[in-house]
Amino acid sequence: MATQEGLIEQAETSYLDTEAPPEESLSAAASVPWVAVALAVHAILLMVAWFILPAAPAKVYTSVLEAQVKDITPPPPPVNPPEKQVEWPDDSPVNEEPVEDKRVQTEDADHAEDPSDSPNRDLAQNPNENPSDNESNHPNKDSSTSAVGLGGGIGGGGGPGGEGGMIKRRPHPDGGVHSPATIEDALVWLKDHQNREGNWSATTFGEDSTRTGARHTYNIEFNDIGKAGGDTGWEATCDVGLTGLSMLAFTGAGYDHRTGAYKNTVRNAAIYLRKVQDNDGCFGSKEDDQFVYNHAIATMAMAEIYGLSGDAIFKPIVERAVDFILKAQNPGLGWRYGVQPLVNDTSVTGWMVLTLHTCELAGLHFDASKCYSDAEAWFDMVTVDVNGYPKTGYDSPGSNNSRLRSASGVYDNNPSMDAICVMSQLFMGKRDLQDKQMKALVKACIEKDYLPRWELGKIDYYYWYYASLALFQMGGSMWDQWEKAMVKTLLDHQRGFCEADKAAGLTSKEALDEHGSWDPVDAWGSAGGRVYATAINALTLETYYRHERMNGHSRD
């Protein structure tokens, strides 16, 4: 190839410079469609790739030898046990099939029962191993107990399993003049006037009466003081406390919710109190600032039925109630209305101490040392010498006991605060029976003007109740003197047994609706009414059986 300026250069070899194919071959290729040519080229490339790419590894087969397996029947699917149902008390009476009860008393027992009258099954079983055919066991002790309604050393007791009956076979301490037959009449009256809801009402107990056709005669001996001691309470806010007080009359005689003639009565009362307990442990409404009385008495009742029956369902109920009592106490002193109101009084403090003591006897555990030491400080603060004699004040050192406004000027003052102080100090273990101050305080109760007497202005069931508790523990000639006056006064004026009722022929519950009760003619009757009067007087007559005497009482 010629280049510019005549120079000849050797050209580089190129695929374009190769020898051209023959002319006839070109013309043959031109006649083949381009698509076919492309397919042929791809086929050639695929064949080349086939031989170039490595061959896939050969698959290795594993031989599986089948062994002879013996046929095994698969186990049945697991069966879950049925979920345990927690059965709470029903509000309505339970109709049960006859069940033989080993604890039913014989025909010659004081409270013989129909064998078909089986125990209620809707509350927890007794946790005690010993069924206690003789006495109801303390829920946290191995030995049986002998004091009905939680007594001295251990507490709890009554008839077989809390059926009552043992009360009449137990000899009377000191050979006194106590008559338990009248207690039975009081319990029958309470049973016949219980509301269907399980409570006792200060105002509607007459409407709740099952004694249809019986005659009503209110305040037969003091009709002229209706304004100071009417037959019904002036308010219904104390119904929770009245229910607890009435329930205590039954447990004090050895009856619980499982067996006995009053098992449904006690059971329904316990259900009612459980229903009215708040989440903070308080029984009843707090609208009335004196609700602490209701709470203390209701707590005591639930503690006694727990200690008497050993029914574990009551334990958390009472524990919450005790927690509320401890929280309500004023730091370093006692109690009054409300929660830590920073003021104190001996009356409320006495109820709280008695309740906590009862809870201890029932087997409840709490820090009693701190609250008792604080309560002791209050009693020591308000107990001072007045005219040469020690006197425990109500809300200040040496002050007189309180009175309702409706009873002001009608009822005399008395040493009820002295009795509360003695009882509390003894049950807290802060004083012993030989303590000179305790003897001096309780001696005031047996002075002529302060012995139980059925005279207007002198009747004070509340005072008689606390003085009986204190003097029974002290024992000796002072108790003998008090006992004779107390028992005679109460028995001579119990409705159906007093001279006026006998003269009118009203000596049975069929004839007299008030038969077995007491007229609410005392200093506190206008607040609690007939239910209060009957329940607290029954408790006073049960003093012998509710608390065993402490060791070392004197016979001075």
The predicted structure's pLDDT at residue 60: 47
Domain contains 1 = no
Domain contains 272 = yes
- The mean pLDDT value of the chain amounts to 75
Per-residue pLDDT for 362 more than 60? yes
Instruction: Give the residue, 233 or 274, on which the prediction is more confident.
Output: 274
The predicted structure's pLDDT at residue 456: 86
- Give the pLDDT band of residue 61 (cuts 50, 70, 90): very low
Number of domains in the chain: 1
Which segments within 347-404 are labelled E, that is strand?
Answer: 383-386, 389-392
Report the CATH number that the domain containing residue 449 is assigned in CATH. 1.50.10.20
The predicted structure's pLDDT at residue 19: 42
Domain contains 469 = yes
- Strand-pairing partners, residue 390, are 385
Cα 214 to Cα 232: distance, rounded to the nearest angstrom: 18
Distance of CA 333 to the CA centre of its chain: 26
The predicted structure's pLDDT at residue 546: 81
- Give the pLDDT band of residue 147 (cuts 50, 70, 90): very low
Which segments within 331-482 are labelled E, that is strand?
Answer: 383-386, 389-392
Instruction: Give the residue, 471 or 115, on which the prediction is more confident.
Output: 471
Q: Which domain holds residue 184?
A: 160-546
Which among 165, 159, 164 has a CA at the least distance from the CA of 145?
159
Per-residue pLDDT for 347 more than 70? yes
pLDDT tens string 152-207: 333 333 333 344 433 444 444 444 555 567 899 999 999 999 999 999 998 889 89
| Cα-based distances in Å from 545 to 157, 183, 249, 286, 526 | 9, 12, 11, 33, 29
Q: Stretch 401-417: mean pLDDT, rounded?
A: 86
Domain contains 90 = no
Tokens 């009608």 correspond to what residue?
410
- Give the pLDDT band of residue 225 (cuts 50, 70, 90): low
- Give the pLDDT band of residue 275 (cuts 50, 70, 90): very high
- Give the pLDDT band of residue 36 (cuts 50, 70, 90): low
Domain contains 224 = yes
pLDDT tens string 65-103: 444 444 555 556 555 555 444 444 444 444 443 333 332
pTM: 0.71
The predicted structure's pLDDT at residue 163: 44
SS3 track for 240-267: HHHHHHHHHHHHHCCECCCCCCCHHHHH
Could you give the 3-state DSSP secondary structure of residue 307? Answer: helix
Q: How many CB atoms lie within 10 A of CB 63?
A: 4
Cα–Cα–Cα angle for 239, 518, 298, rounded to 5 degrees: 30
Domain contains 16 = no
One-letter amino acid of 114: D
Instruction: At 288, list the tokens.
Output: 């009335």
Contact 272, 199 (CB under 8 A): yes
- Give the pLDDT band of residue 216 (cuts 50, 70, 90): confident
DSSP letters of 174-205?
Answer: GG----HHHHHHHHHHHHHT--TTS---TTTH
